[in-house]
Amino acid sequence: MTERNTTLVIGIIGPPCSGKSTVARVVESRGGVWIDADAIAKEQLSDAEVIADLVESFGIAILASDGSVSRAQIADLVFGDDDESHRRLKKLESIIHPRTHRIIQSRLDTATARGALYIILDVPLLLESGWESQCDQIWCMQIEPARHRQLLAARGWSETELARREQRQLPWAEKRRRSTWVIQNDGSVDDLREKVVRMLNQSRPAPTTHRS
């Protein structure tokens, strides 16, 4: 008899600066694969074909002085309440999302085929975009508001900017309801790491066996 591991796919959700990256790194250190959709999408902004499509759609003003795409300028164009902002957001998504989706799916398939113990799927709007169906569990970060404001400020985020980006998302109460675990990030980084290790120990499915 030989032992065969089953990959546990964990979707991680939470607002910016809530501790998602710390959780993902802990899972990674325990034999997991971290699929970071933000990093993948950022890589696409360096692709010549993508840059050309963005300039054609939004104009040369989206480029920084070095010819790279200005993420801040793109954000100003697409995160707004008016119909034109909504239209621009849909156009941006039509350029970036199909490429990002293919890469995420490829990495999921590869990690599963290689028998990774865990995959941590870190995708913005994970529930809204349908990735929930590929997850065994959803982990939702929660952080006390005053502490969250401090962390956002340290990263250069304003509450107004956060609200602007979250206006088309599901309410966080609904996201927490649909989550397997809600992780209260209310202590030190070491406290958070310990929570994640305990959750992994509780969540890990028992290995299955088959005859070789």
Binding-site residues, in ranges, read 17-22
Please name the residue ranges forming H helices in the chain. 20-29, 37-44, 48-58, 71-78, 83-113, 145-154, 159-166, 172-177, 189-203
pLDDT in tens, 165-177: 777 688 889 999 9
Q: Do domains 10-32+117-206 and 45-114 have the same CATH topology?
A: yes
Helix (H) or strand (E) run with residue 120 in it? strand 118-122
Give the number of other CB atoms < 10 A from CB of residue 138: 21
Task: Give the pLDDT score at 205.
Answer: 53
Confidence of residue 55 (pLDDT cuts 50, 70, 90): very high
Task: Give the pLDDT score at 5.
Answer: 58
Binding-site residues for ATP, in ranges, read 17-22
Confidence of residue 160 (pLDDT cuts 50, 70, 90): confident
pLDDT in tens, 65-89: 898 999 889 988 988 778 898 899 8
In the predicted model, is pLDDT for residue 210 greater than 60? no
CATH architecture designation of domain 10-32+117-206 = 3-Layer(aba) Sandwich (3.40)
In the predicted model, is pLDDT for residue 158 greater than 80? no
Measured CA to CA, the distance from residue 163 to residue 184 in angstroms comes to 21
Task: Give the pLDDT score at 208.
Answer: 44
pLDDT in tens, 11-52: 999 998 999 999 999 999 999 999 999 999 999 999 999 999
| Beta strand 137-142 pairing with 118-122 | unpaired
Higher-confidence position of 138 and 16:
138
CATH of domain 45-114: 3.40.50.300
The pLDDT mean for the chain works out to 88
Q: Where are the domains of the chain?
A: 10-32+117-206, 45-114
In the predicted model, is pLDDT for residue 154 greater than 90? no
Task: Give the pLDDT score at 4.
Answer: 42
Q: Percentage of the chain with pLDDT > 70?
A: 92
